């Protein structure tokens, strides 16, 4: 056997009296990435739940802990994976997405698999393909505050049905970043669930309830009625500040900033943003400091935004999402995503799409 320098630990069917009472105590019991196995009523099928790929996103850990405390038996065999245990444990607990100097584990699910995070990612993919699950869910929290949503890579009924166990919104994106859900080989549907903000008790409750539905449903794909209530967001436009820009959040323009977004901009997450809404204030570069790219890389800033005086205004009715007030993430990742709601290829109600 080849030696594994970064082994994934294994824990079979822990019972409620074997785990700590709080998620902090439960976390303390873990020594690193851990793969759990819970035998189900039907051992001929299985499902997989992945979570804590980001150490600062505890809702999925709440859900697994809650599940263990319930002592329930899943409908099928159930495997669970906890990823960035070390990052989560690093004080202050649940504050580090990854350990300093390490790669983001949820960007490592593509070759080369030659460093610590890559080896963990490759090991997880190997485990998933070995057990051939009916479905995989990967539970996360958003960086900003806001409601829950799911993300899939293709408009497949499996993604919609799994998503509807948790939320009423699904985003379909083909932006391949090396996330777990981007792994397409073998046709196993992998759906990302974003439960809402990392410190929001509603997000933890949603994760617990959805996890239970996922584990207990005798047939996952038998009932598709709930998907009719869902909103579908497709091909979102990614809005970023150009490199080297200064960003702030305030109730008025910050001197020297290329963009100041409204202090309460997170309240727009998934809400309707009407044409002419003032999102904040631009600096001396004006709109030139912003880019709004589609998946092909084309910029649409002028199509969606205008500057009047120094205000940043929307030019049409939009839905914005994944808005974060974490300046570091907003600058290194993106400010937010948008879809124009009058364009059905971008936004639709699923009851209008399905016949
Ligand atoms: Zn995450």
16 shares a domain with 131: yes
Cα atoms in the 13 Å half-sphere on the side-chain side of 47: 24
Residues 144 and 248 grouped into a single domain: no
Amino acid 118: pLDDT: 95
CA 9 to ligand 1 centroid distance, Å: 21
Q: Are residues 164 and 312 in the same domain?
A: no
On whether the CB atoms of residues 47 and 135 are closer than 8 A, the answer is: yes
Question: Which residues form the domain of 154?
Answer: 9-229
* Residue 106 alpha carbon to ligand 1 centre in Å: 7
Both tokens assigned to 143: 């960086």
- Flag whether 355 is in a domain: no
Same domain, 180 and 117: yes
Residue 353 maps to a domain: no
Spacing, Cα 52 to ligand 1 middle (Å): 8
Contact status, residue 349 vs residue 232, Cβ threshold 8 Å: yes
Domain end marker among 229, 259, 282: 229
**What is the predicted pLDDT for the residue at 163?**
97
- Tell me, yes or no, whether 84 lies in a domain: yes
Q: The domain spanning residue 101 has which CATH number?
A: 3.40.630.10
Number of domains, the chain: 2
pLDDT score of 278: 97
Q: What is the pLDDT of residue 2?
A: 44
pLDDT given at position 51: 98
The answer to whether residues 106 and 167 belong to one domain is yes
Its pTM stands at 0.92
Going from the C-alpha of 121 to that of each of 37, 192, 194, the distances in angstroms are: 18, 16, 20
Among 172, 198, 229, give the residue marking a domain's end.
229
**pLDDT score recorded for residue 353:** 66
Give every residue of the chain whose pLDDT is below 50, as ranges.
1-3
pLDDT at 3: 46
CA 351 to ligand 1 center in whole angstroms: 29
224 and 324 together in one domain: no
Do 37 and 137 fall within a single domain?
A: yes
Give me ligand 1 centre to Cα 193, in Å: 9
Place of tokens 């239970």: 212
Q: Same domain, yes or no, for 53 and 78?
A: yes
Q: How far is the CA of 140 from the centre of ligand 1 (A)?
A: 4
- Find the 211 Cα to ligand 1 centroid distance in Å: 17
Domain boundary among 184, 210, 229: 229
Quote the pLDDT of residue 18. 98
What pLDDT, on the 0 to 100 scale, is given for residue 354? 62
Are the C-beta atoms of residues 79 and 46 closer than 8 Å to each other? yes
Question: H-helix or E-strand containing 206?
Answer: helix 201-216
Asked if 149 and 171 sit in the same domain, the reply is yes
* 121: in domain: yes
Largest separation between any pair of C-alpha atoms in the chain:
67
Q: Are residues 22 and 171 in the same domain?
A: yes
285 CA to centre of ligand 1 in angstroms: 32
Predicted local confidence at residue 1, as pLDDT: 39
């Amino acid at each position: 056997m080849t030696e594994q320098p970064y082994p994934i630990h294994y824990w079979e069917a822990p019972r409620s009296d074997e785990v700590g009472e709080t998620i902090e105590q439960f976390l303390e019991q873990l020594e690193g990435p851990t793969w759990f196995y819970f035998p189900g009523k039907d051992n001929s099928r299985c499902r997989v739940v992945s979570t804590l790929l980001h150490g600062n996103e505890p809702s999925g850990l709440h859900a697994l802990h809650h599940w263990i405390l319930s002592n329930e038996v899943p409908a099928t065999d159930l495997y669970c994976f906890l990823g960035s245990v070390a990052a989560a444990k690093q004080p202050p607990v649940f504050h580090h997405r990854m350990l300093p100097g390490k790669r983001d584990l949820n960007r490592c699910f593509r070759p080369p698999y030659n460093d610590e995070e890559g080896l963990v990612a490759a090991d997880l993919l190997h485990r998933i393909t070995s057990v051939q699950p009916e479905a995989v869910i990967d539970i996360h929290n958003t960086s900003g505050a806001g409601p829950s949503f799911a993300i899939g890579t293709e408009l497949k009924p499996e993604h919609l049905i799994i998503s509807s166990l948790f939320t009423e919104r699904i985003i379909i994106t083909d932006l391949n970043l090396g996330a777990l859900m981007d792994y397409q080989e073998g046709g196993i549907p992998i759906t990302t669930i974003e439960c809402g903000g990392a410190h929001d008790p509603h997000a933890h409750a949603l994760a617990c309830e959805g996890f239970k539905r996922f584990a207990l449903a005798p047939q996952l794909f038998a009932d598709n009625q709930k998907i009719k209530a869902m909103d579908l967001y497709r091909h979102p436009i990614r809005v970023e500040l150009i490199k080297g820009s200064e960003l702030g959040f305030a109730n008025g323009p910050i001197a020297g900033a290329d963009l100041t977004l409204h202090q309460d901009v997170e309240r727009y997450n998934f809400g309707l943003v009407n044409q002419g809404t003032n999102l904040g204030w631009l600096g001396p570069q004006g709109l030139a400091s912003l880019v709004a790219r589609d998946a092909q890389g084309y910029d649409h800033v002028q199509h969606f935004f205008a500057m009047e005086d120094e205000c940043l205004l929307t030019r049409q009715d939009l839905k914005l999402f994944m808005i974060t007030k974490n300046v570091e993430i907003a600058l290194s990742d993106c400010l937010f995503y948008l879809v124009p709601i009058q364009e059905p290829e971008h936004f639709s109600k699923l009851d209008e799409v399905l016949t």
